[in-house]
């Protein structure tokens, strides 16, 4: 950031040197980085020289450095009318538009700036940053590479952005190389080490993992400094619940805009509807109303909502992928609004205009969330649910978190900034209308005909040395078995197989599942597994639900975090309490017992299949009513608090 400020100050200083003598105080204020005074001086100068474009440029510089992006836009637009061939003005306008999430317009500005001054690395970097914010990470990469090539010396800011774009694009090996280079040059930066740990999980590259996590604690001063994204932290072995809350608090502090933006509240209504007045207006906010696990578990609940109790709005922050599941969700909501192209404040205003009573954020700290918009409080009550298994770290972002007695027990309430409200069984819903396809042959699925099939069709970042230790011990004691996994990307498969071999297990015992496009076929194929193994500390979530819906029993190890207790929540609601273990040794022993007692395993399987019509895990009408009861409860609590003058 300091490097960026120095470079921008030098450019502005050069431009301002051409000004009349009366404006030389602006140059001095730029040099001294006295941005508030520069703002006042520029405004004063405009009274005598109201059409001088360089004064507008100085004003925009002052406002940008103070984070007053919207305030800077009118002056920049005026300056461009006076001097449309100035690339820096286009660039500064793009910076402001990007900061308020008007990314498409920002890209137009950056492209115009590049057409006028294509050798400026800052413009290429800003374009790459905007594309990254739009989650067009692969498109961001060439712009950031160009910025790095043009910059004299090491352009650390652009390299940092490039590494992040590669990480988010799933180009894990390239991202690992970038972060390795960044960390070698700045070994005090906890965030670089955090990304290396995350990428190590994605690539099944676990060398030195325990020591790296300890170093991360030290560099981040016990996670009181920014070190790792909250969602990524859920899969890092050994992190304690309080540490996860601390990580979320750091993220919240850096995400809530400073000053007036963080203090504004768009929801201005003074009262919530009572149970006797109009229906509650529920707003569901998500980036993932598309072919995504969140969308696959949600639609039946939206359809089952009692329209005499609630009116249901959907707000989509993500792209339209044209999928059947998106179309079903659109049909399921009473109202559906695409806010992807809207800025932070415009998005909040859209929700506030709909007079939403309870806004349910399905994103949390997962990809595509808009914490800045939640900070504007577009609804009087905001609830976190479903997408992110943890705390948002700030009561300004969410008042309540929906859990259950297993994932969010009363003893863990100190680890959440939100007030916990609990569903009576599992907090995760399931779409029980989804069809389970035909059972293929073992050969068609690439599985050994006579082997006992252990499976864990989870993303590879949920694997770690401790998990593989136990799984390989199980394989070592069950000679007629194989382990069915999703294939890790890039070098991950090779690294994972090397880890298996290092534990004395033949890599022939590992079978990687091929990609299946149809969910019905995916669920049908899952039935070939004999027993599912739940990873830890980040359990199977939607993948665990799929496994149980397909009729495959699962063994879980009860953890000490929200994400590490989901397996137990699923199994408890399915009526398979005996599949919940409390230690790694109990986990191993139970797997061996079920391998050696096929009748017992078959009984579990049949109980699971029979439970599709009786177990709470699969009873979605009851789930929908319980969810509505929670909404009414928090609404009434909000009304009582308002009446008492507490809100």
Tell me how long the chain is. 647
pTM for the model? 0.90
- How would you classify residue 243: left for phi > 0, otherwise alpha for psi between -120 and 50, otherwise beta? alpha
Q: What is the mean pLDDT of residues 142-157?
A: 94
Confidence band for 261, pLDDT divided at 50, 70 and 90: very low
Domain range 442-618, CATH class? alpha beta
425 in Cβ contact with 617 (< 8 Å)? yes
Q: How far apart are the C-alpha atoms of 235 and 254, rounded to whole Å? A: 22
Q: How far apart are the C-alpha atoms of 198 and 235, rounded to whole Å? A: 8
Quote the tokens at residue 48. 């005598």
What are the CA-CA distances from residue 178 to residues 209, 437, 607 (Å)? 18, 43, 50
Quote the tokens at residue 113. 């700036």
What integer best gives the mean pLDDT of the chain? 91
Task: Say what the pLDDT of residue 274 is.
Answer: 55
Alpha helices by DSSP H, 151-298: 156-168, 172-185, 190-202, 209-219, 230-233, 241-255, 260-263, 293-297
DSSP tag of 94:
H
Cα 329 to the chain's mean position, in Å? 20
pLDDT in tens, 203-251: 999 999 999 999 999 999 999 999 999 999 999 999 999 999 999 999 9
Architecture in CATH of 266-423 = 3-Layer(aba) Sandwich (3.40)
Q: How far apart are the C-alpha atoms of 532 and 86, rounded to whole Å? A: 62
**266-423 and 442-618, same CATH topology:** yes
Nearest to 458 by CA among 520, 527, 543: 543
Taking residue 230's Cβ as centre, other Cβ atoms within 10 Å add up to 24
Give one DSSP letter per residue of 520-547, joined into a string.
Answer: HHHHHHHTT-SEEE--SSS--SHHHHHH
Within 8 A by CB and 6+ apart from 89, the residues are 53, 56, 57, 60, 76, 79, 80, 83
Determine if the peptide bond prior to 537 is cis (ω within 30°): yes
Ranking 42-56, 166-180, 400-414 by mean pLDDT, the lowest is 42-56
Confidence band for 263, pLDDT divided at 50, 70 and 90: low
- Sign for the CA dihedral angle at 506, 509, 513, 519 comes to negative
Q: How far apart are the C-alpha atoms of 222 and 225, rounded to whole Å? A: 8
Q: Where are the domains of the chain?
A: 266-423, 442-618
Ranking 102-106, 175-179, 259-263, 387-391 by mean pLDDT, the lowest is 259-263
Residue 113: pLDDT above 50?
yes
What are the CA-CA distances from residue 639 to residues 277, 467, 561, 629 (Å)? 12, 47, 32, 15
pLDDT in tens, 566-602: 999 999 999 999 999 999 999 999 999 999 999 999 9
User: By percentage, how much of the chain surpasses pLDDT 90?
Assistant: 78
Residue 341: pLDDT above 90?
no
Q: What is the mean pLDDT of residues 260-287?
A: 70
Quote the tokens at residue 340. 């992807």
């Amino acid at each position: 950031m300091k490097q960026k400020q120095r470079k921008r100050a030098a450019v502005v200083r050069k431009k301002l040197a051409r000004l009349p003598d009366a404006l030389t105080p602006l140059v001095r204020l730029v040099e001294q980085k006295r941005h508030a005074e520069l703002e006042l001086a520029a405004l004063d100068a405009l009274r005598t020289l109201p059409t001088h474009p360089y004064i507008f440029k100085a004003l925009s510089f002052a406002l940008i450095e103070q984070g007053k992006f919207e305030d800077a836009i009118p002056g920049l637009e005026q300056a461009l009318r006076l001097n449309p061939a100035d690339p820096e003005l286009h660039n500064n306008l793009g910076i402001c538009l990007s900061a308020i999430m008007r990314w498409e317009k920002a890209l137009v500005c950056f492209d115009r700036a590049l057409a006028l001054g294509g050798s400026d690395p800052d413009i290429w970097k800003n374009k790459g940053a905007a594309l990254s914010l739009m989650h067009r990470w692969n498109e961001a990469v060439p712009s950031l590479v160009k910025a790095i090539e043009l910059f004299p010396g090491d352009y650390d800011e652009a390299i940092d952005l490039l590494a992040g774009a590669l990480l988010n694009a799933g180009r894990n090996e390239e991202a690992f190389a970038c972060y390795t280079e960044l960390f070698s040059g700045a070994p005090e930066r906890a965030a670089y080490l955090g990304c290396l740990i995350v990428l190590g999980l994605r690539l099944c590259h676990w060398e030195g993992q325990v020591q790296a996590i300890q170093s991360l604690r030290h560099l981040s001063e016990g996670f009181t400094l920014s070190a790792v994204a909250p969602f990524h932290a859920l899969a890092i072995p050994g992190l304690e619940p309080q540490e996860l809350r601390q990580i979320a608090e750091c993220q919240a502090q850096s995400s809530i805009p400073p000053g007036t933006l963080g203090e504004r509240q768009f929801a201005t209504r003074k009262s919530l509807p009572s149970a006797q007045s109009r229906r509650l207006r529920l707003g569901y906010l998500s980036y993932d109303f598309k072919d995504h696990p969140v969308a696959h578990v949600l639609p039946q609940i939206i359809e089952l909502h009692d329209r005499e109790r609630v009116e249901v709005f959907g707000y989509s922050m993500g792209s339209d992928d044209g999928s059947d599941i998106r179309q079903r969700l659109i049909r399921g909501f009473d109202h559906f609004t695409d806010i992807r192209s809207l800025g932070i404040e415009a998005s909040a205003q859209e929700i506030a205009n709909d007079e939403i009573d309870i806004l349910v954020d399905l994103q949390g700290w997962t990809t595509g969330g808009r914490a800045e918009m939640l900070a504007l409080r577009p609804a009087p009550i905001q609830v976190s649910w479903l997408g992110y298994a943890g705390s948002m770290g700030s009561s300004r972002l969410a008042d309540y978190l929906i859990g259950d007695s297993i994932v969010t027990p009363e003893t863990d309430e100190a680890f959440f900034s939100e007030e916990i409200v609990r569903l009576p069984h599992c907090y995760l819903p399931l779409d029980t209308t989804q069809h389970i396809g035909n059972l293929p042959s073992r050969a068609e699925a690439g599985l050994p005909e006579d082997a006992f099939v252990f499976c864990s069709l989870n993303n590879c970042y949920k694997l770690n040395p401790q998990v593989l230790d136990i799984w390989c011990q199980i394989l070592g004691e069950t000679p007629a078995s194989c382990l069915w996994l999703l294939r890790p990307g890039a070098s991950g498969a090779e690294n994972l197989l090397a880890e298996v071999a290092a534990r004395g297990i033949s890599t022939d015992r590992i079978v990687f599942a091929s990609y299946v496009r149809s969910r019905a076929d995916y669920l049908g194929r899952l039935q070939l597994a004999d027993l599912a193994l739940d990873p830890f500390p980040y359990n199977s979530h939607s993948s665990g639900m799929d496994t149980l819906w397909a009729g495959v029993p699962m063994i879980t190890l009860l953890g000490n975090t929200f994400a590490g207790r989901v397996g137990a929540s699923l199994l408890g609601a399915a009526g398979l309490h005996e599949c919940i273990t409390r230690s790694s040794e109990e986990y191993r022993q139970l797997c061996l017992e079920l391998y050696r007692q096929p009748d017992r395993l078959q009984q579990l399987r049949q109980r699971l299949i029979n439970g599709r019509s009786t177990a709470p895990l699969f009873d979605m009408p009851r789930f929908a009513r319980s969810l509505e009861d929670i909404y009414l409860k928090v609404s009434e609590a909000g009304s009582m608090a308002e009446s008492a003058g507490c809100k």
